[in-house]
């Protein structure tokens, strides 16, 4: 019997194969010329079956996107910081678009409630050469946002993607 997943307030049925593929896709996929064949081999499926199921999940709106994760420090980005911005409510959309247009910004989003009661737009900034404060100052000038704070990491305790499905699914309703 298929398991149920909530999507946008409605229950969506998933087969065991779909859950196994979703579990496999949330982890690193094999770095080979035919990654779906390698993934399928582990699940006793052909690469065509894996691709067909992935497409079906995307068509149903369950799988929204598929992409690579860059390990920024291994790629030479030695500096990163979260920058919080105090943006007047009527300027959030336009300021967010300006901040997001900078290539050194990987994430840009509005948050509620505002941090410290006023910082409502957050960006993640990554740099190889230019000092972060110099980069942020240019962003602040372009967006006309003088009120911001640069938050740098002291210690990394955990960095991982969210795992929505457990690997090694088997048994009734996908339970381990």
- Residue 60 and residue 17 share a domain: yes
- Residue 86 and residue 37 share a domain: no
Question: Residues of 90-119 as b/e, b for ≥16 C-beta within 10 angstroms?
Answer: eeeeebbebbeebebbeebeeeeebbeeeb
pLDDT in tens, 86-143: 999 999 999 999 999 999 999 999 999 999 999 999 999 999 888 999 999 999 999 9
- Residue 102 and residue 46 share a domain: no
pTM of the model: 0.65
Q: At what angle do helices 132-143 and 92-100 cross, to 10 degrees?
A: 140
- Residue 97 and residue 40 share a domain: no
User: In 35-144, where do the E strands start and end?
Assistant: 79-85, 105-115, 119-127
Residue 104 in contact with residue 135, Cβ under 8 Å?
Answer: yes
Q: Do the domain assignments include residue 39?
A: yes
Q: CA-to-CA distance for 36 and 33, rounded, in angstroms?
A: 9
Residue 150 in contact with residue 142, Cβ under 8 Å?
Answer: no
| pLDDT of res. 100 | 98
């Amino acid at each position: 019997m298929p398991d149920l997943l909530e999507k946008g307030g409605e229950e969506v049925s998933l087969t065991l194969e779909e859950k196994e593929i979703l579990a496999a896709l949330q982890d690193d996929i094999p770095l080979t010329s035919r990654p779906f064949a390698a993934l399928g081999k582990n699940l006793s499926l052909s690469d065509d079956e894996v691709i067909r199921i992935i497409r079906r999940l995307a068509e149903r709106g369950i799988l929204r996107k598929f992409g690579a994760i860059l390990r920024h420090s291994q790629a030479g980005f030695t500096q990163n910081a979260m920058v919080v911005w105090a943006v007047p409510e009527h300027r959030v959309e336009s300021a967010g678009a300006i901040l997001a247009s900078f290539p050194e910004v990987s994430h840009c989003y509005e948050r509620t409630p505002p941090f410290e009661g006023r910082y409502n737009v957050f960006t993640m900034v990554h740099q190889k050469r230019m000092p972060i404060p110099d980069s942020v100052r240019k962003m602040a000038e372009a967006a006309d946002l003088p009120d911001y704070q640069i938050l740098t990491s002291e210690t990394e305790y955990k960095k991982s993607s969210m795992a929505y499905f457990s690997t090694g699914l088997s048994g009734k309703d996908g339970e381990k």
